[in-house]
Structure 1
Amino acid sequence: YFTEEPAFKEISMGMSGDYPVAIDEGSTMVRLGTVIFGER
């Protein structure tokens, strides 16, 4: 984790099933496909 490096400004972790935890842990980008579009 490179907090001073501009190229590493996003922290992508978490998906529809665990996005609250990912946000609590500092994620700045979360994948929410199932929440928006439903199960496949």
Structure 2
Amino acid sequence: LPVRRNMIVTDEVIESAQSIVIPEAANRVVSAQTVLKEILLGMK
């Protein structure tokens, strides 16, 4: 996750219905995978 639980942000904030922390982390993973895929395909 892009935050430090219970140090910067409490669990209640991270896990609230309004929180975008978890979806943003998932987006970050997909973005990194896509970039890596494009780099590897470009090396062929």
Q: Relative contact order (C-alpha < 8 Å, sep 6+): which is higher?
A: 1
Same fold by TM-score, threshold 0.5 exceeded? no
TM-score range, shorter chain: under 0.3
Which structure features the higher share of helix residues? 2
TM-score (norm 1): 0.28
Larger radius of gyration: 2
